[in-house]
Amino acid sequence: MKALKIVGIAAVALVVVLGGAIAVVASRFDADSVKRELVKVVQDKKQRHLAIDGELKLSFWPNLGIALGKVSLSEPRSDQVFATVDKARVAVAVLPLLSKRIVVNTVELDGATATLIKHRDGTLNIDDLLAKGASAPSTSAPPPLHLDIAGVKVANAQLVWRDEKSGSSTSISGLDLDTGRVQADSSRQVFEIEALKLAAKGQLDADHFEFKLDVPKLALAPEKSAAGNATIAATLTGAERNANVKLALAGIEGSARAFRIAKLGLTLDAKAGASSIEGTLESPLSADLARRSVALEQISGSFDIADARMPARHVKLPLSGTLHADLARQSAGGNLATQFDESKIALKLDVEKFAPPTLAVALDIDRLNVDKYLPPPKAGAGAGENGGGKLDFSALKRFNLAGTVNIGRLQVHNVKAQNIKAQIKLADGRLNVAPQAANLYGGTVNGALALDANSNAVTVKENLAGVDINPLLKDAAGKDLIAGRGSVVLDVATHGETVAAMKKALSGSASLALKDGALKGINLAQSLRELKAKFSTRQDAVQQAKATDKTDFSELSASFKIANGVAHNQDLAVKSPFLRLAGSGDIDIGNGTMNYLAKASVVATAGGQGAADLAHLKGLTVPVRASGPFDKLSYRIEFAGLASEAVKAKVEEQTQAVKQKAQNKLKSLFGR
């Protein structure tokens, strides 16, 4: 009893002493002096202006607390406001402090705002606040910290992020944080939090978003940690796009060194214009915090992709594989596979470096018809064109890549190829696809392609051998101009921000050599026979190209010099059953027109492609001019001036005949 009495007296004495001390401090507390001192310290240490416009209140028992009204903090060495708080309150229980325990009853923050700025040189406007002091390192371990907070409440906070270099800006408003009890013990390395809820909404460019995090309980300890289930949900709403994403984490357990999530589930429902994607993805997840590694061990799921503009309208995309990342080494990798329609696709991926992203890939596809999943060309755009839209290759500047691509069968923009093999290298915005090889329309193609995103420049070097040129031109460009099988050599380069600009900037060289083919749109034998009457009247004959007409040839060769989108040729050589063709002229690729003069020489008048009744043209050269837009070529047979040449030819023929007779007569006279 005596001991209890002594303890009671001591407790009363302690309370009296503390009460007296509190009374003295309270009586001498000068809020204005404290404000002035705080403002001076912040100005001296950080060169920022601190304004405490609201009331400053202290409470001492049973909680040691501070309450603030309106407070603002400026940018460094500036009057521009960096952050503001409408009101804040923190209350700490007094008695636990005597045993070096911090028991916080209340942490409240209302109406906080802050603007984070990334300057053009990469620095942040909070770097000075994050910088550590230059105090000498302590030789003794810090005392253990015991923290116990009844709850944390942050209401109506607002955060703005601004990047001066890119000009982008993101704002988060209505940021609310609400927790239950928060406990920490540094000596035992234990941390626990109950009922963690975080909600935010904001604006990203012209779109609005909302974010919610809900963790019923989180307990971290060296030997065992657990979090039960957790959910993260986000929505994006805008005039052009909408998205709902939900991430559910179930069975979270582990330790301070490693943890495992029995099931990580992702649900996605997004729409952008006429396109939509909806699906789920799930996998167990394991993480080694000590080694800073994480792995998705068994990915499975599927996505439904729909677009009213796609010929296929809808495609279901299953997905399986594994992914892993080593954060310490800044590397990652994995294997992904999918199968849809008639396509089987396998991708092996290795991320060698995160910044800038450096990837190694190996892509294998058995067959793929890309046209089934691409919107059709816009009205008025030719095959392979994009209607004049701007070409943007800037995405190639953001990462480096090297790898291989193998495709069994491929169709893109109606062009078909088989057994495609290519090596790809992308670095510093320059993409090189070389070497590359494929089977193409009965022949082969080998070559290289280069694209420079820094200048929107393209270089193509291709060697086509044994290729059936007519179906290739029909599929690639929708043009039925020439038929035959043979070789084509391309060495061209161009640049520009649109397809039209690239066509007009095309330069380089090209050549072709074909056998057993035909020039489409005109039947020269028939045209010359039907227009025989106009020969005598010296009238040019003009006719439009006809899809059913053709001029057969056994051999064709030509070479081109290309500059500013115009291909110039002057060595056309064509052999047909009844004539020979030579020619020169221009093919304006940029404007889709042609102005070409071919000179036809009749060499046979019997047999062949309807060549009868052409005896009057034998030995003459008939000019045939092809001109106009590619899809509406016209052919002009220039008979004007040809009649006089025919008379000269006839006179020459008769002269030669007279000479021959004279020579024969002389031979008979002299017996030779």
Q: For residue range 6-28, list pLDDT tens digits in order.
A: 433 444 444 444 444 444 444 44
| Same domain? 61 vs 189 | yes
pLDDT at 64 over 90: no
Q: Which two tokens stand for residue 378?
A: 């816009």
Report whether 216 contacts 197 (CB < 8 A): no
Model confidence band, residue 39 (pLDDT cutoffs 50, 70, 90):
confident
| Same domain? 404 vs 462 | yes
| Same domain? 186 vs 43 | yes
Does 194 fall in a domain?
A: yes
What pLDDT was estimated at residue 530?
63
Report whether 621 contacts 540 (CB < 8 A): no
Model confidence band, residue 208 (pLDDT cutoffs 50, 70, 90):
confident
Amino acid at 127: D
Pairwise CA distance, residues 42 & 76, whole Å: 10
In the DSSP assignment, the letter for residue 395 is: G
Of 51-55, 145-149, 572-576, the range with the lowest mean pLDDT is 145-149
What pLDDT was estimated at residue 244?
95
Pairwise CA distance, residues 430 & 457, whole Å: 9
Of 87-101, 395-409, 499-513, the range with the lowest mean pLDDT is 87-101
Does 45 fall in a domain?
A: yes
Whole-number average pLDDT of the chain? 81
Residues in the chain: 672
Q: What phi and psi values does residue 667 have, to the nearest 5 degrees?
A: -60, -40
Query: What average pLDDT does the segment 421-430 reach?
Result: 94
| Same domain? 43 vs 184 | yes
What pLDDT was estimated at residue 143?
67
Report whether 152 contacts 107 (CB < 8 A): yes
Query: What average pLDDT does the segment 34-56 reach?
Result: 84
| Same domain? 451 vs 349 | no
Q: Which residues form the domain of 176? A: 30-125+144-205
Amino acid at 374: L
Longest dimension (CA), the chain: 173
Does 308 fall in a domain?
A: yes
What pLDDT was estimated at residue 656?
57
| Same domain? 70 vs 88 | yes
**Of 459, 480, 505, at which residue does a domain stop?**
505
Report whether 173 contacts 201 (CB < 8 A): yes
Burial category of 160 from C-beta neighbours within 10 Å (exposed 0-12, middle 13-18, buried 19 and up): middle
What pLDDT was estimated at residue 663?
58
What pLDDT was estimated at residue 625?
86
Q: For residue range 220-256, list pLDDT tens digits in order.
A: 777 787 777 899 999 989 888 899 999 999 988 887 6
Neighbours of 498 (CB within 10 A): 16
Does 564 fall in a domain?
A: yes
Does 217 fall in a domain?
A: no
Q: Which position has the higher pLDDT, 465 or 306?
A: 465
Neighbours of 94 (CB within 10 A): 15
What pLDDT was estimated at residue 1?
47
Does 176 fall in a domain?
A: yes
Q: For residue range 268-294, list pLDDT tens digits in order.
A: 999 988 889 999 999 999 999 888 899
Query: What average pLDDT does the segment 481-510 reach?
Result: 93
Highest mean predicted confidence (pLDDT) among 2-11, 213-222, 361-370, 661-670: 361-370
β-sheet bridge partners, residue 245? 234, 268
| Same domain? 182 vs 55 | yes
Amino acid at 287: A
| Same domain? 457 vs 556 | no
β-sheet bridge partners, residue 248? 231, 265
**Of 343, 377, 411, at which residue does a domain stop?**
377
Neighbours of 540 (CB within 10 A): 15
| Same domain? 197 vs 55 | yes
| Same domain? 37 vs 101 | yes
| Same domain? 364 vs 253 | yes
**Of 176, 205, 234, at which residue does a domain stop?**
205
Please state, in angstroms and as integers, the Cα–Cα distance from residue 649 to each residue in 150, 517, 617, 654, following that order. Answer: 114, 31, 10, 9
| Same domain? 634 vs 651 | no
Does 18 fall in a domain?
A: no
- The structural domain count of the chain equals 5
Does 234 fall in a domain?
A: yes
What pLDDT was estimated at residue 172?
82
